[in-house]
Amino acid sequence: MTDPRETAMATRRRVLGDAHVNRAEAAKTDFDAPFQALITDAAWGHVWSRATISLRERSMLTIALLAGLGNDHELAMHIRATANTGASEQDVLEALLHVAIYAGVPRANHAIKIAKDTFAAMKEAR
């Protein structure tokens, strides 16, 4: 049987990339270690590791939710993660069009700017 924490960390690394996870792990302190364990276990273990839908679909859902809630820092991180999840720029646009209708045009407008800037930076870094 696979250790749930190993599965969670493997999924986290697959989606966010080793560099991001290594930075987060290196920055972890005694203060935030319980929080890091919580998000690793809950988000990456119990949700992202489920085989019910694809990483691409989870990526699109996550981007739409983050944009709709105005969580801009997390939004940029998950836009960058599309390089690993298989969600295309067109997929992200479709998710953000839903945000415009269901969460509001201002949220979608701001999220589209973040997505454009993030995708441009990703292309420049290649």
pLDDT tens digits for 40-67?
999 999 999 999 999 999 999 999 999 9
Q: Name residues whose C-beta falls within 8 Å of residue 102's C-beta, 6 or more positions apart in sequence.
A: 68
Please give the tally of structural domains in the chain: 2
Are 64 and 96 spatial neighbours (Cβ–Cβ below 8 Å)?
Answer: yes
69 and 38, same domain (yes or no): no
pLDDT, position 2: 80
pLDDT score recorded for residue 1: 60
Instruction: State the DSSP string of 64-114.
Output: HHHHHHT-HHHHHHHHHHHHHH---HHHHHHHHHHHHHHT-HHHHHHHHHH
Which segments in the chain show pLDDT lower than 50? Answer: none
Print the domain residue range for 97: 54-126
pLDDT at 44: 97
Q: Tell me, what's the pLDDT at 60?
A: 98
Is the same domain home to 32 and 60? Answer: no
Q: Is the dihedral of CA 70, 68, 120, 80 positive or negative?
A: positive
Q: Side chain identity at 5, as an amino acid letter? A: R
Do residue 63 and residue 125 come from a single domain? yes
